[in-house]
Structure 1
């Protein structure tokens, strides 16, 4: 093999290596600005499907409590592991809604600093939905989900003006605890 052929072969090998490097079959999570809905998590609810780990997926579309809220700070589904969401600098007076579900066994702990914290038992199709009304603004609000489950989870955090219950269509009334 002459020098030109060796250089061409090395360049081809380097190009092949560069194209295949990092191809593990998984996709790293992407950061989203606070207040945006993750792509792929806003369509109609579908039947749960097994994930690559075998756990049932939990769609953010299942978080119906948030449908009555005018602002959605977070709405994610089919998550695993624990996650801390971006800080919300200010939440105006009104009602904060928190909704969470999980599949598999175990629990998830939901913490919204200065607002509410609670545990969700996994496998309950209704999950937990909490409304918290306040006439005072909240600052530096942080939300976190701590996973203690073998399955997947969905979480949503929203806001609406006022402190009373929103008008509801009786056919799609969410469970409020």
Structure 2
């Protein structure tokens, strides 16, 4: 029969490491999401811009739901790691020794916090993108003129690229992988 003998401190350290990495990621994600507020209505409300904006909105909503699920699961996993470590410590405790049973360390604070949803990218209004030079000629001859805002589109591009390249974004999967290898090595 194989026995699994893992030091409770391994579980506690894994919980703390994952909590730190997930917390840093969520803080960075929330910061970048807030930066997207200045990109509302960037796609405009006409033709291909509106069509693109509808798809963009769906993908942003899906991404936000995925991040919410990831952080919620991370919070639960961290709590479970602490609990498992404590159960191992209790199982290793000898009640005949006269020492009190080990205390469970406090769970790290929860990472997830509600936040505002991403702004919609579709909308009308004045734009600084493709315009009709004030002549309104295209509108008079019924040619739809895109009314998106290229400055806002570029700002959104910059925000998403910054989030993708942020060390906090790349560190979370690295930390999860590192902790899973650490656990596997202790079995």
What band does the TM-score fall into relative to the shorter chain?
under 0.3
**TM-score, normalising length: structure 2:** 0.20
Indicate the structure with greater helix content.
2
TM, length-normalised to structure 1: 0.21
The structure, 1 or 2, with the larger RCO (C-alpha pairs under 8 Å, 6+ apart) is: 2
